[in-house]
Amino acid sequence: MRKVLIIGGSHGIGKALLKELINENHCINISRTPSDVSHPNLSQFELDITQDELPDIDQVDSIVYCPGSIVLKPIGSLKEEVLRQDFEINVVGAFKTIKKYHRILKKGVNPSVVLFSTVAVSQGMPFHTSVAAAKGAVEGMVRSMAAEFAPTIRVNAIAPTITDTPLAANLLRNDTMREKMKDRHPLKRILDGDEVANMAAYLISDKARSITGQIIGVDAGMSIVRN
Ligand SMILES: NC(=O)c1ccc[n+]([C@@H]2O[C@H](COP(=O)([O-])OP(=O)(O)OC[C@H]3O[C@@H](n4cnc5c(N)ncnc54)[C@H](OP(=O)(O)O)[C@@H]3O)[C@@H](O)[C@H]2O)c1
């Protein structure tokens, strides 16, 4: 059975992915709070990726790193400290994970890594400086690692638009905000965690065995379509 390590499988997109994979794969979840999914194919470690040592694992075929941030602030009130925290959770956490497991991952079956960017990297949205800077670094890391690990480990990222998860709850907290958010997108919808998780499941599958170094938009048309 394939082993998939999900960092951040307790909530949001990571949880949706865990639920999608758990019947056919052994899933290892690492998050600060445990997943409420109970299944014989699930093992879990509770830790903070920015603070704690990662556990040793004897086999892993895919790694999906989900922790991230959405701090939206005008430059005048954006603190350097927040920029550094965004870098820690989005970039350093992902780097630490891949550094820890890349040797064991290399021995896996069709081994791969999926990271998360955001549509805000390519679109230049106001108040997104901190998250766009951190996720821009994630995108650079994806391309560099894809080159370094080829032909063995594939490395890709998904760049979603706003997705209905605990991370985005504050931006979708009432009907007016939800309607405005929908209206900004050519497809007039807000994503749910499942549809982004579907893309992650595809990218770690054999069907994506020729895909590496890519940043895949799952964004209701936001990055490309004008209407
Ligand atoms: N949702 C959106 O609108 C949106 C848009 C664009 C990009 N993205 C990106 O997509 C990715 C997934 O987003 P999401 O909305 O699913 O996020 P989420 O709802 O916040 O879920 C994040 C997961 O990561 C875990 N996590 C967070 N900090 C952690 C830490 N320090 N140590 C260990 N685990 C930690 C959380 O579990 P615990 O709290 O239990 O630790 C949770 O399971 C993120 O990288 C995000 O930046 C999301």
pLDDT score for 67: 98
Residue among 157, 15, 32 nearest 90 (CA): 157
pLDDT averaged per 10 residues in sequence order, the chain, 227 residues: 98 98 98 97 98 97 97 96 98 98 98 98 96 98 98 98 98 97 97 98 98 98 93
The structural domain count of the chain equals: 1
The number of the ligand 1 atom at minimal distance from the alpha carbon of 15 is: 43
Mean pLDDT of the chain: 97
Q: What is the DSSP string of 44-107?
A: EEE--TTTSPPPP-S--SEEEE---------GGG--HHHHHHHHIIIIIHHHHHHHHHHHHHHT
Task: Give the pLDDT of residue 163.
Answer: 98
Q: What pLDDT does residue 164 have?
A: 98
Phi/psi of residue 136, nearest 5 degrees: -60, -40
- Here the tokens at position 219 are 């964004």
| 181 CA distance to ligand 1 middle (Å) | 20
Q: Which residue's structure tokens are 């290399």?
A: 106
Confirm whether 78 is domain-assigned. yes
Identify the DSSP state of 213: S
* φ, ψ for residue 138, nearest 5 deg: -60, -45
User: Could you tell me which residues are beta bridge partners of residue 111?
Assistant: none
Whether the model pTM is above 0.85: yes
- For ligand 1, the distance from its centroid to the CA atom of residue 67, given in whole angstroms, is 4
CATH number at residue 141: 3.40.50.720
Share of the chain above pLDDT 70, in %: 100
* Residues having CB within 6 Å of any atom of ligand 1: 8-14, 31-33, 48-50, 66-69, 89, 116, 118, 160, 162-163, 165-168
Q: Whose CA is nearest to atom 43 of ligand 1?
A: 8
pLDDT at 227: 82
Report the distance separating Cα 37 and Cα 44, nearest Å.
Answer: 10
Q: Residue 42 phi/psi, 5° resolution? A: -110, 130
Distance from residue 154's CA to the centre of ligand 1 (Å): 22
Residue-level length of the chain: 227
Best residue among 47, 130, 165, 190 to mutate for probing ligand 1's pocket (most ligand atoms within 8 Å of CB) is: 165
**Any domain includes 223:** no
* Residue at 224 is within a domain: no
Query: For residue 227, is it within any domain?
Result: no
Atom of ligand 1 nearest to the CA of 7: 34
pLDDT of residue 207: 98
CA of 15 to the centre of ligand 1 (A): 10
* Dihedral (CA of 16, 19, 20, 22) sign: positive
Q: What's the first-to-final CA gap in the chain, in angstroms?
A: 45
Q: What is the pLDDT of residues 113-149, one digit of tens each?
A: 999 999 999 999 999 999 999 999 999 999 999 999 9
The pLDDT score that the predictor gives to residue 142 is 98
Determine the structural domain holding residue 98 and report its residue range. Answer: 3-218
DSSP state, residue 171: G
CA–centroid distance, 227 to ligand 1, in Å, is: 31
Q: Does a structural domain hold residue 202?
A: yes
Domain assignment present for residue 24? The answer is yes
